[in-house]
């Protein structure tokens, strides 16, 4: 079954801010909500880093993009507890032929991104994100994130498109 690209998921090569959602279901962004949004985004990154990638014979280097930019160093440090190969987006480059490459070593890698967060209600958010290895190996996904105890966790994942 073919999947059409979701126009809300922009290629990870482009660095720009995701537009806030307007209309029904939109929750205005406020300083009080920022820690919740950070926890939700971290839950999605953790789910992405735990998810095995098809056709990856070895553990890849991960380059994280949060709304098209580097996540803060504190988040990267926490995520390195899952895998030491976590780097900010700015540490990679993308070529048409080879895909994602480390800027220093030239080793291959994967960009994992959180592109857009939408609050469904006070206790659930939908997050659009995905991964990019090459133009032929990428996907856009929608993650439902809900509180589980003191933390946030991904409860469902829906494939939006795949290359």
pLDDT digits (tens, 9 = 90+) for 113-152: 999 999 998 899 999 999 999 999 999 999 999 999 999 9
Contacts 24+ apart (CB under 8 A), 32-40: 33/119, 36/152, 37/117, 37/125, 38/75, 39/151, 39/152, 40/117, 40/125, 40/127, 40/145, 40/152
Give the Cα-Cα-Cα angle 83, 89, 92 (nearest 5 degrees): 90
User: How far does the chain reach from its first CA to its final CA, in angstroms?
Assistant: 12
pLDDT digits (tens, 9 = 90+) for 71-95: 999 999 999 999 999 999 999 999 9
Dist CA 145 CA 147 (whole Å): 7
Q: What is the pTM of this model?
A: 0.79
Cβ–Cβ under 8 Å, residues 108 and 60: yes
């Amino acid at each position: 079954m073919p999947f059409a690209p979701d126009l809300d998921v922009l290629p990870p090569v482009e660095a720009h801010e995701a537009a806030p959602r307007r209309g029904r279901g939109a929750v205005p962004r406020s300083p009080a909500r920022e820690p919740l949004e950070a926890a939700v985004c971290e839950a999605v990154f953790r789910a992405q880093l735990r998810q095995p990638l098809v056709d990856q014979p070895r553990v890849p280097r991960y380059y994280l993009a949060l709304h098209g930019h580097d996540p803060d160093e504190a988040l990267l440090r926490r995520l390195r507890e899952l895998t030491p190969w976590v780097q900010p987006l700015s540490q990679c480059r993308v070529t048409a032929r080879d895909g994602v490459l480390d800027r220093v070593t030239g080793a291959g890698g994967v960009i994992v991104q959180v592109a857009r967060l939408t609050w469904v209600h006070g206790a659930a958010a939908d997050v659009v994100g995905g991964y990019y290895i090459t133009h032929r190996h990428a996907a856009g996904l929608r993650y439902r994130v809900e509180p589980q105890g003191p933390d946030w966790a991904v409860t469902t994942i829906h494939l939006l498109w795949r290359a």
